[in-house]
């Protein structure tokens, strides 16, 4: 049996500027690139028309053809990852398994089980930083503790960046692949169907970055990058995006830093991955959790046009503008007094760019229970938000064309009544 390295693709589905792939292809052994569809993750997806699975499938088809052009092939498996490695070890003499870091709870446990199995067989298991600019212990406070507030974190992040030498990983130019030819499972063999959702392109102009701070809050303008799904699955490199941001837009750079910040919070505060609020005292809240009102919110039928527009955009495209994400999240938690975890779970089911860290961060920001959150007493007024950010009703008209007609629902709750009710509930919970 020939000695090989395995490179395991996960949230980094690209050949360009891929840290772990570069290390694998620069090593002494030919590289077998693999991707594993994990039934533990896929089986949890109740709706078999899931755009994320389709996006991954498309990205893998592209990756496969790029690797074929370089003399190798991508092996795509559908199995429990540890079992997949056990079976590969019977076909190849694996010397190394290389991959990029994944910071989520399940991934950390999965990787440590594979690492242990590999160690027992004398196989090196090594993983690399690729998904973020700075990770784990790289940006810490003066007391060596993780930051829990964004502004000082971002200041330190920028200082560190200024003192860091950029590394470009030219992984796309290396061709040290194992020769082979593998069948690719179809979407239906994986148990899924196409959705018809159109995926956003990863291309956007420098002009958009330059105009970002002026236009980003207006959902009626197409003025944000829509790059989130590509960052989620690594079809674009975060290092290349940060390079593009530098000198063009401090505001857009900050958004990319928020992403690193939330990854760090997930890593350092594992209780948030167990459904516990970052600030645990907020778990004393007495939520109303009214099922029918939750249904109305999900379906974009609350009678608040800006909220309904956001939910309909989400349901139809898998995307929602950031300003509107903040409005609908605040509305669910504060106007309807529904547990933020219900909203978090619904977003997790629907968002094309769903990412545990950013999603949990966004929901806890809205609920006031997060690390650097909106104060609990700040209750967005959906009408004022509309006046400020969709004054000409471009966004609302697009998603809720019937909003001025008689059959459009009356507001599910009165704004002023809801505001007083939620303030009283927070006061009671927080003492
Ligand atoms: C309740 C709520 C839930 C959210 N859930 C997610 C999620 O599951 N996945 C996700 O990627 N983002 C999430 N966000 C953050 C943000 O809304 C999206 O990243 C953004 O709307 C994606 O659009 P864009 O690519 O055009 O972003 P742009 O505005 O062009 O920003 C560029 C990139 O910066 C990052 N970014 C921007 N804002 C944030 C933020 N607040 N937190 C972390 N990263 C950010 C994203 O990777 C984004 O693609 C959530 C926000 C809220 C309020």
Query: What is the secondary structure of 10-58 as a DSSP string?
Result: SS---STT-HHHHHHHHSSS-EEEEEEE-HHHHTT---S--HHHHHHHH
Secondary structure (3-state) at 137: coil
Its pTM stands at 0.96
- The reply to whether ligand 1 has any atom less than 6 angstroms from the CB of 350 is no
Residues 100 and 19: beta-carbon distance below 8 Å? yes
With a cut of 90, say whether residue 278 has pLDDT above it: yes
Asked if domains 3-130 and 274-430 share a fold, the reply is no
> What are the structural domain ranges in the chain?
3-130, 132-166+203-268, 274-430
The highest-level CATH class for domain 132-166+203-268 is: mainly alpha
Any ligand 1 atom below 6 A from CB of 325: yes
CATH architecture assignment, domain 3-130 = 3-Layer(aba) Sandwich (3.40)
Share of the chain above pLDDT 70, in %: 100
Does the CB atom of residue 231 touch ligand 1 within 6 A? Answer: yes
**Ligand 1 centroid to residue 95 C-alpha, Å:** 39
258 counts as catalytic: yes
Q: What is the spatial distance between Cα 420 and Cα 405, in angstroms, rounded to a whole number?
A: 29
Kindly state if the Cβ of 255 falls inside 6 Å of ligand 1: yes
Structure confidence at residue 412 (pLDDT): 98
Q: Which pLDDT band holds residue 259 (cuts at 50, 70, 90)?
A: very high
Separation of CA 358 and ligand 1 centre (Å)? 7
CA of 323 to the centre of ligand 1 (A): 10
DSSP state of 373: P
pLDDT of residue 73: 98
Q: Is the CB of 204 under 6 A from ligand 1?
A: no
Torsion over CA: 382, 384, 388, 394 (sign): positive
User: What separation in Å is there between the alpha carbon of 322 and the centre of ligand 1?
Assistant: 6
Nearest CA to ligand 1 atom 21: 322
How far is 273 from 284, CA to CA, in rounded Å? 18
Q: Check 255, 293, 313, 344 and give the catalytic one.
A: 255
pLDDT band at 104 (very low <50, low <70, confident <90, very high): confident
Of residues 8, 252, 258, 365, which has the active-site annotation? 258
Average pLDDT score over residue span 119-134: 97
pLDDT score of 54: 97
Residue with the nearest Cα to atom 46 of ligand 1? 228
- Cβ neighbours, 10 Å, residue 137: 11
Pocket mutation for ligand 1, best pick of 150, 322, 326, 378 (most atoms within 8 Å of C-beta): 322
Residue nearest to atom 38 of ligand 1 (CA): 255
Give the tens place of pLDDT for each residue, 206-239.
999 999 999 999 999 989 999 999 999 999 999 9
| Structure confidence at residue 105 (pLDDT) | 86
Interval 87-108 mean pLDDT: 95
Query: How far is residue 91's CA from residue 41's CA, in Å, rounded to a whole number?
Result: 26
Q: Whose CA is nearest to atom 26 of ligand 1?
A: 226
Is residue 322 among the annotated active site residues?
A: yes
Q: What pLDDT, in 10s, does the model give residues 358-390?
A: 999 999 999 999 999 989 999 999 999 999 999
Pocket test for ligand 1, best of 209, 228, 263, 331 (most atoms within 8 A of CB): 228
In the prediction, which pLDDT does 70 show? 97
pLDDT of residue 167: 84
What local confidence, expressed as pLDDT, does residue 1 receive?
A: 74
Residue 2 predicted with pLDDT over 90 = no
Gap from CA of 359 to ligand 1 centroid (Å): 8
ipTM of the complex: 0.99
What is the pLDDT averaged over residues 77-83?
98
Task: Round the average pLDDT of the chain to a whole number and report it.
Answer: 97
358 lines ligand 1 (CB under 6 A): yes
pLDDT, average across residues 67-73: 97
pLDDT at residue number 166: 81
pLDDT digits (tens, 9 = 90+) for 4-28: 999 999 999 999 999 999 999 999 9
- The stretch 46-63 carries a mean pLDDT of 97
The atom of ligand 1 lying closest to the CA of 356 is 8
Query: What is the model's pLDDT at position 71?
Result: 96
In eight-state DSSP terms, residue 274 is G
Residue 147 has pLDDT above 90, yes or no: yes
CATH class assigned to 274-430 = mainly alpha
Given a cut of 90, whether residue 268 has pLDDT beyond it is yes
Under 8 Å between Cβ of 215 and 223? yes
The number of C-alpha atoms within 13 Å of 117 and in the hemisphere containing its C-beta is: 17
Supply the pLDDT for residue 103.
Answer: 87
Task: For residue 8, indicate whether it is catalytic.
Answer: no
Q: What angle do CA 215, 156, 378 make, to 5 degrees?
A: 50
> Residue 328's pLDDT is what?
98
Catalytic hit among 287, 315, 349, 381? 287
Interval 194-210: pLDDT, tens: 999 999 999 999 999 99
What does 191-248 look like in DSSP terms, one character per residue?
Answer: T-----PPPPPS---HHHHHHHHHHTT-TTS--S---HHHHHHTSS-HHHHHHHHTTT
């Amino acid at each position: 049996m020939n000695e090989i390295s395995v490179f395991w693709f996960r949230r980094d589905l690209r050949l360009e500027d891929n840290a772990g792939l570069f290390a694998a292809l620069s090593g002494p052994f030919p590289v077998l690139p693999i991707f594993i569809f994990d039934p533990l993750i896929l089986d949890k997806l109740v709706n078999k028309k899931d755009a994320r699975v389709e996006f991954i499938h498309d990205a893998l088809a592209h990756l496969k053809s790029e690797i074929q052009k370089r003399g190798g092939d991508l092996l795509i498996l559908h199995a429990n990852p540890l079992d997949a490695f056990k079976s590969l070890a019977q076909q190849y003499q694996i010397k190394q398994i290389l991959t990029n870091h994944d910071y989520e709870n399940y991934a950390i446990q999965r990787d440590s089980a594979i690492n242990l199995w590999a160690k027992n067989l004398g196989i090196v298991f090594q993983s690399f930083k690729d998904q973020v600019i700075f990770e784990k212990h790289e940006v810490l406070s003066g007391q060596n503790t993780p930051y829990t507030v964004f502004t000082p974190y971002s200041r330190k992040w920028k200082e560190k960046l200024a003192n860091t030498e950029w590394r470009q990983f030219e992984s796309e130019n290396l061709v040290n692949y194992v020769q082979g030819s593998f069948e690719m499972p179809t979407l239906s063999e994986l148990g899924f169907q196409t959705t018809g959702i159109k995926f956003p392109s990863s291309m956007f102009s420098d002009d958009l970055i330059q105009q970002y701070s002026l236009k980003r809050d207006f959902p009626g303008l197409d003025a944000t990058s829509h790059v989130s799904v590509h960052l989620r699955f690594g079809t674009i490199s975060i290092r290349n995006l940060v390079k593009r941001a530098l000198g063009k837009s401090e505001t857009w750079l900050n958004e990319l830093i928020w992403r690193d910040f939330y990854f760090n919070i997930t890593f350092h505060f594992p209780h948030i991955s167990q459904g516990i609020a970052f600030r645990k005292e907020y778990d004393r809240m007495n939520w109303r959790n009214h099922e029918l009102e939750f249904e109305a919110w999900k379906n974009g039928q609350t009678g608040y046009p800006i909220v309904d527009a956001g939910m309909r955009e989400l349901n139809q495209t898998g995307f929602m503008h950031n300003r509107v994400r903040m409005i609908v999240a605040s509305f669910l938690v504060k106007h309807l007094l529904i547990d933020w975890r219900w909203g978090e779970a619904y977003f997790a089911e629907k968002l094309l760019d769903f990412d545990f860290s950013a999603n949990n961060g966004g929901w806890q920001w809205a609920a006031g229970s997060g690390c650097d959150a909106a104060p609990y007493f700040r209750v967005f007024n959906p009408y004022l938000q509309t006046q400020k950010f969709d004054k000409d009703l471009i966004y609302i008209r697009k998603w809720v064309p019937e909003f001025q007609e008689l059959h459009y629902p009356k507001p599910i709750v009165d704004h002023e009544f809801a505001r007083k009710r939620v303030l009283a509930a927070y006061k009671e919970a927080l003492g």
